[in-house]
Amino acid sequence: MTTIIDTNALIYAAKKKQDLDRKIFGPILIPNLVHAELEKLSKTAKKGADKAAAKLAMQIIDHKKWKIVNLEKGHTDTRIKEYAKEHGFAVLTFDKELKRSLR
């Protein structure tokens, strides 16, 4: 099944050195809005570990050549939820609010 990954899941995976390809079976999609959040975090995060994790997450995305999907501007979680529901895709997130809204 195709899976969309949000920002906090990518940050977590980078910090924990998790290989998402081994945990997710099927195509992985990264929303352009998530990529933009990672770029911003890599420059402005208050914790050095978060900056480093955001940079690593972007490198992983580029290295794995995961597909970037263009979502309309707006609240990232809302756009991810709408896109996932529209296409029947799974969402990997640790965001409690997003998880609740996907049920």
Task: Kindly report, residue by residue over 1-45, the tens digit of the pLDDT.
Answer: 999 999 999 999 999 999 998 889 899 999 999 999 999 999 999
* pLDDT beyond 90 at 102: no
Instruction: Provide the CATH number for the domain formed by 3-102 in this structure.
Output: 3.40.50.1010
Q: Where are the strands (E) in the chain, listed by range?
A: 3-5, 28-31, 67-69, 90-92
* pLDDT beyond 90 at 97: no
What is the rounded CA–CA span in Å between residue 43 and residue 77? 21
* pLDDT beyond 90 at 100: no
* pLDDT beyond 90 at 83: yes
Burial class of residue 47 in the structure, from the number of CB atoms within 10 Å of its CB (0-12 exposed, 13-18 middle, 19+ buried): exposed
